[in-house]
Structure 1
Amino acid sequence: MIYDSIIIGGGPIGMACGIEAKKRDLNYLIIEKGCLVNSLYNYPVNMTFFSTSEKLEIGGAPFVSHNHRPVRREALEYYRRVQTTWDLNMHLFETVLDVQPHSVKDLIYEVKTSKGTYLTKTVTVATGFYDIPNLMHVPGEDLPKVKHYYDDPHLYSFTEVAVIGSANSAIDCALETYRKGANVTLIIREPEINDRVKYWVKPDIENRIKEGSIKCYFQSEVKEITSTEIIFYSHLEEKDIRIKNDFVLAMTGYQPNFDFLQRIGIKLSEDQIKQPEYNAETHETNMENVYLAGVVCGGMKTNSWFIENSRVHAEYIYDNITKKLK
Structure 2
Amino acid sequence: MKLEKDIIIVGAGPIGIACALECKKRQWDYTVLEKGALTNSLFHYPKNMTFFSTSEKLEIAGIPFISNNPKPNRDEALEYYRRVVTSHELNINLYETVRSIQKENNVFEISTSKRLFSANHVIICTGFYDIPNLLNIKGEQLPKVTHYYKEAHKYALQNVVVVGASNSSVDAALEIWRKGGKVTMVVRGEGIGQRVKYWVRPDILNRIEEGSIKAYFNSEIEKIEADAVTIKTPSGIFSIPNDYVVALTGYVPDIKLLKNSGIAVSNDEKKTPIYNPETMESNVKNLYLAGVICGGKETHKWFIENSRIHAKIIAASIEKRKV
Q: TM-score range by the shorter chain?
A: over 0.9
For 2:252, the aligned partner's letter is Q
Deviation of residue 2 (structure 1)?
Answer: 3.0
1:255 is aligned to 252
Structure 1 CA distance, aligned partners of 2:188 and 2:129?
22
- 1:287 alignment counterpart: 284
Post-superposition CA distance 1:111-132 (Å, at most 9, x none): 1101100110000000000000
Amino acid at match of 1:310: S
Out of 65, 71, 76, which is 2:78 matched to?
76
Root-mean-square deviation (CA, aligned residues, Å) is 0.8
Q: Does 1:42 align with 2:57?
A: no
Task: State the Cα distance separating 1:85 from its structure 2 match.
Answer: 1.8
The CA distance in 1 between the partners of 2:322 and 2:36, in whole Å, is: 30
Q: CA deviation at 1:35?
A: 1.1
Match of 2:16 in 1: 14
Mapping of 1:217-236 within 5 angstroms? 217-235=216-234
1:160 equivalent to 2:198? Answer no
Is 1:219–1:234's contact at 8 Å kept on the other side of the alignment? yes
> CA offset at residue 322 of structure 1?
1.1
Q: Residue 147 of structure 1 aligns with which residue? A: 146
The answer for the alignment partner of 2:215 in structure 1 is: 216
Q: How do residues 302-321 of structure 1 correspond to structure 2 at under 5 angstroms?
A: 302-321=299-318
Q: Aligned partner of 2:78: which letter?
A: L
- In the alignment, which of 92, 100, 110 is matched to residue 98 of structure 1? 100
Q: Distance in 1 between matches of 2:188 and 2:33?
A: 38
Aligned to 1:5: 7
1:202 has 2:201 as partner: yes
In structure 1, the residue corresponding to 2:282 is in which secondary structure? coil
Q: Name the TM-score, length of structure 2 as normaliser.
A: 0.98
Deviation of 1:179 after TM superposition, in Å, equals 0.3
Aligned to 1:27: 29
Give the distance between the partners of 2:201 and 2:35, measured in 1 at CA.
35
Amino acid at match of 2:266: S
User: Residue 323 of structure 1 corresponds to which residue in structure 2?
Assistant: 320
Q: Deviations over 1:261-300 (max 9, x none)?
A: 1111111100000000100110100111000000000011
Aligned 8 A contact 1:59 1:82 in 2 = no
CA distance in 2, matches of 1:156, 1:46: 15
Instruction: Give the partner amino acid of 1:155.
Output: K
> Identity of paired residues, percent?
52
C-alpha distance in structure 2 between counterparts of 1:254 and 1:242, whole Å:
27
Structure 1 residue 23: deviation in Å?
1.3
The alpha carbon displacement at 1:150 in A equals 0.4
- Alpha-carbon offset, residue 323 of structure 1: 1.2
| Residue 297 of structure 1 pairs with residue 299 of structure 2 | no
Write out the 4+ residue segments of structure 1 that deviate beyond 2 Å after TM superposition.
none
- Structure 1, unmatched stretches of 5+, are none
- The residue identity in structure 2 corresponding to 1:319 is A
Query: How far has the Cα of 1:259 moved from its partner?
Result: 1.1
Distance in 2 of aligned mates of 1:95 and 1:126: 13
Q: How much has 1:232 moved relative to structure 2?
A: 1.3
Partners of 1:194 and 1:157 lie apart in 2 by 25
CA distance in 2, matches of 1:118, 1:316: 24
Distance 2:32 2:269 in 1: 30
How far apart in 1 are the matches of 2:263 and 2:243? 42
Paired residue secondary structure (1:243)? strand
CA distance in 2, matches of 1:99, 1:320: 20
Aligned partners of 2:77, 2:166: CA distance in 1, in Å? 22
Does structure 2 conserve the Cα–Cα contact (< 8 Å) formed by 1:29 and 1:90? yes
1:156-181 CA deviation, whole Å, 9 max, x = no partner? Answer: 00000000001101000100000000
Amino acid at match of 1:286: N
SS at match of 2:281: coil
Secondary structure of 1:49's counterpart equals coil
In the TM superposition, residue 221 of structure 1 has moved relative to its aligned partner by 1.1
Q: Does the residue aligned with 1:62 lie in a helix, a strand or coil?
A: coil
Amino acid at match of 1:77: E
Structure 2: where are the runs of 5+ without partners? Answer: none
Q: How far is 1:22 from its partner? A: 1.3
Q: How far 1:59 sits from its partner (Å)?
A: 2.4
